[in-house]
């Protein structure tokens, strides 16, 4: 009977949890032998609707290197997870987390990016984190590179634009797999790899002052190197631990055509193809050939090593992970750009938006889950989704019904997708604890279920406070998503 195959709820063992990134939470930017990273030379934005992360040029870079304070560079201080990790993980456990996604800072392990020997204090820190997680049976899901790299590789090679960075990265990944591999089952390579087309934050390559064409050339070349490095890391992991799982990670930008006009529909398809290109594994043949046409028409020459095609083709990832915050609208004669950290495209008149102008579209999550599953038939993992909002602390409490509503609506759509037959491994909402915003480096753009007492200038006690959403998510996890009512 067909009906028997119709799932009713989240599967048993569904991985509920939260996600953070080293450069947004750890702080301790210059402690215990850690090297400076690309994220730590990016200044806080002066306009919260205008992203600042890619505006680094040679002048601002050298100013930052000579400035040894944290004031202008909030990612140097994070929320001091480096010293609060035990307290924070205890709170995650109290919510019932099954998984915690975090990233390893490459420069904590190899301060210059290509050191022969690892920095023992860096390895020790992540060992301590893993020990805490094991105490509560929380699975680690580790991102190998989340929007930062050792700054010395920018100075030496201009980041990922140089092929030599592949070897440096795979030396780092080999060390990390050998050291932590026994304790970790799930890995991700590059966070939101496709956003490398936007510049420095992901490529580690300074490209300010270049023409648009030269920028595109450098960014796609950098991305090619990252794709190869990613495939090589996949190979390393599978050789060491054949049953471990490694995924790629995409900033999923589901695109809607602005109208049923065939030109608009085709334009939307094109935008989608460019987004999905970065889910590089062997059966994406059509999309690869589409990109060859795109490269040729835009006169982009991507240099490849002789083995690159084979490396990419022979090392597919085990699952597809992605972040989901918004959808975009595309039309053939595009003018106007949507506000959002990396969205291009127009605004959707049917959607509401956050205070930062990010359009909120829970049904888009169901659509994208279905599309990805239909197309690739690979297990999926939603590894980021959440609401950045300004919270008000009143009598030591935060009543964040808006955040509950946002998460609730998205989780309902995930459940619908599971009922549609999508194979979903888990959900790590973004920012279980308040952290420094990626795109604007603000503290006041809060995603957390846990409040951190710190303001945009770094003032505060760093005390952690449970928000209403903390108790709500605790209930959702305890019932494995059966109870999605908005009361806690
Ligand atoms: C994703 C990033 O793009 O969006 C995270 O992977 C980031 O690092 C998240 O924090 C939310 O973006 P923002 O700019 O609001 O912090």
Ligand 1 binding pocket includes 448 (Cβ within 6 Å)? no
**Cα–Cα–Cα angle for 275, 279, 360, rounded to 5 degrees:** 45
> In this structure, which residue's CA is closest to atom 12 in ligand 1?
438
Taken as a whole, the chain contains a residue count of 488
pTM of the shown model: 0.96
- Around 46, how many Cα atoms within 13 Å sit in the side-chain half-sphere? 1
The answer to whether 98 and 170 are in contact (CB under 8 A) is no
Q: Is 192 a catalytic residue?
A: yes
| Calpha distance 206→156 (Å, rounded) | 12
Is any ligand 1 atom within 6 A of the Cβ of residue 359?
Answer: no
CA of 260 to the centre of ligand 1 (A): 32
**Active-site residue among 40, 148, 384, 442?**
384
Ligand 1 pocket test target in 24, 438, 445 with most atoms within 8 Å of CB = 438
How many A from CA of 438 to the centre of ligand 1?
A: 5
pLDDT of residue 339: 43
pLDDT at 240: 98
Instruction: Determine the Cα–Cα distance for residues 329 and 396; give it in Å rounded to an integer.
Output: 41
Pairing of strands 464-466, 450-452: antiparallel
Q: How far is it, in rounded angstroms, from Cα 179 to Cα 181?
A: 6
**What per-residue confidence (pLDDT) applies to 270?**
86
Nearest C-alpha neighbor of 436 from the set 10, 77, 142: 77
Q: What is the pLDDT of residue 281?
A: 55
Closest ligand 1 atom to the C-alpha of 388? 15
pLDDT of residue 3: 64
**Residue 384 Cβ contacting ligand 1 at under 6 Å:** yes
Query: What is the full per-residue pLDDT of the chain (488 aa) written as tens digits?
Result: 666 678 889 999 999 999 999 999 999 999 999 999 999 999 888 777 666 677 899 999 999 999 999 889 999 999 999 999 999 999 999 999 999 999 999 999 999 999 999 999 999 999 999 999 999 999 999 999 999 999 999 999 999 999 999 999 999 999 999 999 999 999 999 999 999 988 999 999 999 999 999 999 999 999 999 999 999 999 999 999 999 999 999 999 889 999 999 988 988 888 888 888 877 654 454 556 778 888 888 899 999 999 998 898 899 899 999 999 999 898 887 544 434 444 556 889 999 999 998 999 999 999 999 999 998 899 999 999 999 999 999 999 999 999 999 999 999 999 999 999 999 999 999 999 999 999 999 999 999 999 999 999 999 999 999 999 999 999 999 999 999 998 87
End-to-end CA distance of the chain: 38
Which of 382, 430, 445 to mutate for ligand 1's pocket (most ligand atoms within 8 Å of CB)? 430
User: Is 388 near ligand 1, meaning CB less than 6 Å away?
Assistant: yes
Q: What is the pLDDT of residue 391?
A: 98
**What's the helix, strand, coil split of the chain in %, to 5?**
45, 15, 45
pLDDT in the model for residue 49: 65
Handedness of CA 135, 137, 138, 143 (dihedral sign): positive
Given the residues 87, 192, 297, 442, the one annotated as active site: 192
């Amino acid at each position: 009977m067909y009906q028997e195959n119709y799932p009713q709820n989240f599967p048993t063992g569904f991985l509920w949890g939260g996600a953070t990134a080293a450069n947004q939470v750890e702080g301790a930017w210059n402690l215990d032998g850690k090297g400076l990273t690309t994220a730590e030379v990016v200044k806080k934005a002066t306009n919260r609707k205008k992203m600042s992360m890619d505006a680094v040029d040679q002048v601002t870079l050298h100013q930052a290197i000579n400035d040894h304070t944290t004031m202008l560079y909030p990612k140097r201080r994070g929320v001091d997870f480096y010293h609060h990790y035990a307290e924070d993980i205890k709170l995650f456990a109290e919510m019932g987390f099954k998984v915690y996604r975090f990233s390893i800072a490459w420069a904590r392990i190899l301060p210059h990016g290509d050191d022969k020997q690892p920095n023992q204090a860096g390895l020790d820190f992540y060992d301590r984190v893993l020990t805490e997680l094991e105490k509560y049976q929380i699975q680690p899901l580790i991102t190998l590179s989340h929007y930062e790299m050792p700054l010395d590789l920018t100075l030496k090679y201009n980041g990922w634009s140089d092929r030599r960075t592949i070897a440096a990265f795979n030396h780092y990944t080999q060390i990390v797999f050998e050291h932590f591999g026994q304790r970790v089952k799930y890995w991700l390579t590059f966070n939101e790899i496709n956003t490398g087309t936007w510049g420095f934050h992901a490529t580690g390559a300074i490209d300010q002052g270049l023409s648009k064409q030269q920028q595109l050339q450098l960014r796609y070349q950098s991305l090619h190197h990252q794709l190869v490095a990613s495939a090589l890391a996949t190979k390393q992991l599978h050789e060491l631990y054949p049953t471990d799982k490694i995924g790629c990670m995409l900033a999923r930008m589901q695109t809607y055509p602005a109208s049923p006009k065939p030109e608009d529909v085709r334009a939307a398809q094109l935008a989608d193809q460019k987004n999905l290109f970065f889910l590089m594994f062997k059966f994406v043949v059509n999309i690869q050939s589409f990109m060859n046409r795109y490269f040729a028409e835009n006169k982009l020459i991507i240099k490849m090593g002789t083995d690159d095609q084979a490396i990419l083709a022979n090392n597919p990832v085990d699952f597809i992970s992605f972040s989901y915050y918004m959808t975009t609208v595309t039309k053939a004669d595009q003018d106007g750009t949507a506000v959002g950290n990396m969205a291009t495209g127009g605004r959707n008149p049917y959607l509401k938006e956050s205070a930062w102008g990010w359009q909120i579209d829970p049904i888009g999550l169901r659509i994208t889950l279905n599309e990805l599953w239909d197309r690739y038939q690979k297990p999926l993992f939603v590894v980021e989704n959440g609401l950045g909002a300004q919270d008000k602390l009143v009598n030591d409490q935060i009543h964040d019904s808006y955040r509950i509503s946002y998460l609730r609506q998205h989780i309902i759509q995930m459940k619908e997708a599971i009922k549609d037959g999508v194979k979903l491994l888990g959900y790590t909402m973004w920012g279980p604890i308040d952290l420094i915003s990626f795109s604007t480096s603000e503290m006041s753009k809060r995603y957390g279920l846990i409040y951190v007492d710190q303001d945009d200038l770094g003032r505060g006690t760093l005390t952690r406070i449970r928000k209403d959403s903390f108790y709500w998510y605790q209930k959702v996890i305890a019932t494995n998503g059966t109870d999605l009512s908005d009361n806690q």
